[in-house]
Amino acid sequence: MPVSRRAVLKTILATTAGAIGATGARGYFYERHRLEVTRAMIPVTALPPALAGMRIGLITDLHRSRWVSHEDVAHAVDALMAERPDLIVLGGDYVTWGDRRYVGASADALAPLSAPYGVFAILGNHDNDHDTPLALTKAGAQVLRDQRTRLTIRGETLDLVGIRFWTRRAADIASLLHGAAPMTVLLAHDPRRLAEASGLSIPLVLSGHTHGGQVVLPLIGAVAAKQFPVVAGIGRRNRTALFVSRGVGTIYLPVRVNCPPEVAVLTLQPSPA
């Protein structure tokens, strides 16, 4: 008996729906908890020789909520502490939609973090400008809200500039750079600040925000993050290097597909001329 076109289409649709359902279930039950430690070498223009080999830990986009548990965040914290970085950066979005019920819990889960040169935090678009900085400060982090701080590491000067998510104009970022050291790292939740950083010749930018796309489909890629210059990992524009972390938590749907959560350990190295 010949098979009708309608029967073929119904079979295809049923198979596709089943595959999508299975992928979604795996993304919910397994992949969103499958934390990875990403170790990357970051080439930095004009890096002082004394800072070569310095290791920066980056943990971002926790999105502590009913879907992202204390155990999820604690696991990420333990994984990062096991790497013993020289300095730790918290990249923003500690809760989802500013949910104040989880602000304290998110900060408490981060409290075990420590590093020889300190723990520094910025705010993301989901964080409020009052409760979150207070909670993070209480947990031992130094919060940079459109601020710069100076560190002396191995006898060299390194400046950290942390900006709010809504600080976007090059002139506003430039105002924070007056008197900055040649080796300056911009902590910007949104990787789109690469454009401004490149124009200002900032050597390195550390970001999150994209979740790596969160759902990365074969052949199609990260549909939800096409607007970003880099969705995850290392990027570069002129003399400015960028690293974008996939983050720990999830947003909109508690699912990750082909995009596991991560904490990152970044080793600085001189960029080839």
Domains of the chain: 34-270 (3.60.21.10)
pLDDT at 21: 54
One-character DSSP codes across 200-249: TT-SEEEE-SSGGGSBEETTTEEGGGTTSS-SSEEEEETTEEEEE---SS
Average pLDDT over residues 193-204: 98
Residue-wise pLDDT for 220-262, tens only, equals 899 888 899 999 999 999 999 999 999 999 999 999 999 999 9
Q: Which are the contacts of 39, defined by CB distance < 8 A and separation ≥ 6?
A: 83, 264, 265, 267
- How much of the chain exceeds pLDDT 90, in percent? 85
pLDDT at 7: 47
pLDDT at 4: 47
Residue-wise pLDDT for 115-159, tens only, equals 999 999 999 999 999 999 999 999 999 999 999 999 999 999 999
Instruction: Let me know: does 89 contact 56? Beta carbons within 8 Å.
Output: yes
Residue-wise pLDDT for 30-59, tens only, equals 699 999 999 999 999 999 999 999 999 999
- The DSSP letter of residue 111 is T
Residue-wise pLDDT for 83-111, tens only, equals 999 999 999 999 999 999 999 999 999 99
pLDDT at 22 over 80: no
Average pLDDT over residues 176-189: 97
Going by pLDDT thresholds of 50, 70 and 90, the confidence category of residue 12 is very low
Going by pLDDT thresholds of 50, 70 and 90, the confidence category of residue 17 is very low
Closest among 142, 196, 160 to 54, alpha carbons compared: 160
pLDDT at 25: 66
**Who wins on pLDDT, 25 or 11?**
25
Instruction: Let me know: does 261 contact 36? Beta carbons within 8 Å.
Output: yes
3-class DSSP state of 15? helix
What's the chain's average pLDDT? 91
Give me the amino acid identity at 150.
R
Distance separating alpha carbons of residues 49 and 270, to the nearest angstrom: 8
Distance separating alpha carbons of residues 265 and 93, to the nearest angstrom: 19
Dihedral in degrees, nearest 10, Cα atoms 225, 226, 228, 233 = 70
pLDDT at 272: 83
